[in-house]
Structure 1
Amino acid sequence: MPFTFVCIDHVQLAMPPGQESRAVAFYRDVLGMEHVPKPEPLASRGGAWFRAGAVAVHLGAEHDFRPARKAHPGLVVKGINDIAAALEAAGHAVRWSDELPEVRRFHTDDPFGNRIEIIDGG
């Protein structure tokens, strides 16, 4: 092949319009991601962008919003027990999975019901 994939620049999820403060409360305040201002003309569409190191999550506002229950980002973290504790302390369910015995991971949902997978990165 004459091309090579390098990385994923970001993952886009959806959220209901006008719920940016709830996105910030989860992605910034619970997960510790930086809230990155959306550039114009994208900012006028609503939604919110977040980044932590090489990981970027963009939330776009959708009028006919439906949460992603099956499709999801898989975020690799160091300190999986700490992020699980932070989620639980903030009232978010942590569902540990043993379906892949060689991978320590769990699922949670953002405040809009989008499924998020957290994978132990050591």
Structure 2
Amino acid sequence: TTGGILGTNGASSGSSIYGFTIGASTTQANIDNLLTDVETALKNMTTLGSQLGSLQQRVDIQTDFVSSLSDSIDSGIGRLVDADMEEESSKLSALQTQQQLAIQSLSIANSSSQNILSLFRG
């Protein structure tokens, strides 16, 4: 075909091998040229098939890489959240301890004032 995948070795000008008809005027050279066109087309399809396979493999590799990267990011975010939770837990424990100490201080202060008042009453 002119401008197509197959050449015009065995076919009439401007047509494909599909339009090629074997008749009384067909020579062995025409058939040989037609077979050459078919073999060339098969080689071209094989080459294109291997290129598609290579591209598919590249896409698969990139997909695996992106999946691994996403897993790593999720894991990193999880570790950051865990670290934040541990830090907040530590802060909460410190605040609770401060609150308990403040309550005990007030209790001691109140009992001291009660002791002083009992001295004046006695």
By the TM > 0.5 criterion, same fold?
Answer: no
Higher CA-based Rg? 2
Q: TM-score range by the shorter chain?
A: under 0.3
With a CA cutoff of 8 Å and minimum separation of 6, indicate the structure with the bigger relative contact order. Answer: 1
Structure that is richer in strand per residue: 1
- Give TM-score scaled by structure 1 length: 0.18
- Give TM-score scaled by structure 2 length: 0.18
